[in-house]
Amino acid sequence: MSAAPIVAQWRSTVSQQLFPGLHAHQAKALADFSYAMARAGHCQAARRAAWVPTEAAAASSQRRFERLLSNPRLPPRRAQRQLAQSVLEHWDGQTVLLLLDETPKANDLRVLSVRVGYHHRALPLAALCYRPHRLPRPLPQLVHSLLRQVRGCLPATAAVVLLADRGLAWPLLVD
């Protein structure tokens, strides 16, 4: 069976449901980006490029992804908010498990993220990447900013449980 119908349906879902305000080319590129990442089981562009559902060479797909990620017309925070709204709108009247975590990539980068726990998976809702010793703001402010961003996407009747990584469970966060 060909993957083409699955990819076409995913592209439509990304464009119409997850990111309805996004330009069609960007939505298609994001759909291909996420599909290739899932198939490759890896987030590096070079490893992911071979899994793009296209006739283009892997090097061309890699450049396409790099251009997508560096495109100033694709603001990450707005894209994250749109995705979070699409995911969280279905939790109306239910308990939402939010996971707060900081993940290192060697000693080069860190990702601070808020994810929603769902069926033994952690779906990202908001994230921020930074160098360990060059934070854009103090860590408590970054945490507060991400939580505020996700709170704006939650249905009014959702109950929230926040599970924080032990390195982030400060008294300030509990307060």
pTM: 0.77
pLDDT, tens digit (0-9, with 9 covering 90-100), for 8-43: 898 898 888 887 878 888 888 888 888 888 888 877
Please give the tally of structural domains in the chain. 2
More confident residue, 49 or 124: 124
Residue-level pLDDT at 149: 93
Among the residues of 14-170, which ranges form H helices? 24-40, 45-48, 58-70, 76-88, 139-151
Q: For residue 145, which of 121, 173, 117, 120 has the smallest C-alpha distance?
A: 173
Are 106 and 58 in the same domain?
Answer: no
SS3 32: helix
pLDDT, tens digit (0-9, with 9 covering 90-100), for 110-139: 899 999 998 888 888 999 988 888 888 988
* Residue numbers of the domain that contains 133: 76-174
Residue-level pLDDT at 1: 53
- Among residues 30, 47, 70, the one where a domain terminates is 70
Residue-level pLDDT at 116: 94
Quick one: what percent of the chain has pLDDT higher than 90?
26
Are 84 and 110 in the same domain?
Answer: yes
